[in-house]
Amino acid sequence: MPESEARVKLWQIVSAIEYCHSLGVVHRDLKLENLLLDKNYNIKIVDFGFSNFYSNDNTLKTFCGSPPYAAPEIFEGREYIGPEVDIW
């Protein structure tokens, strides 16, 4: 894949996650298996089974997601707001 195309794919992923976060939704299980391509080769994020609503006023502590991809906060059982575990 040319670097220019890889940049477009990364932008699509980041934009989609930013959109979810703007709605107060955290995915909590981002991994390659949950990134699909549509017929036009656009990235689609799927499997929102571990997703949750979040706010800056309430922390989450649920252990969820796929261990090889889990953020340290989740793995260590620490409280988190939400977006930071998607960015990990």
Question: So which residues are the catalytic ones?
Answer: 29
Chain centroid to Cα 72, Å, comes to 14
Alpha helices per DSSP H over the chain: 3-22, 72-75, 83-87
User: By three-state DSSP, how is residue 37 classified?
Assistant: strand
Of 56, 59, 64, residue with least CA distance to 80:
59
Q: Tokens representing 87? A: 């960015």
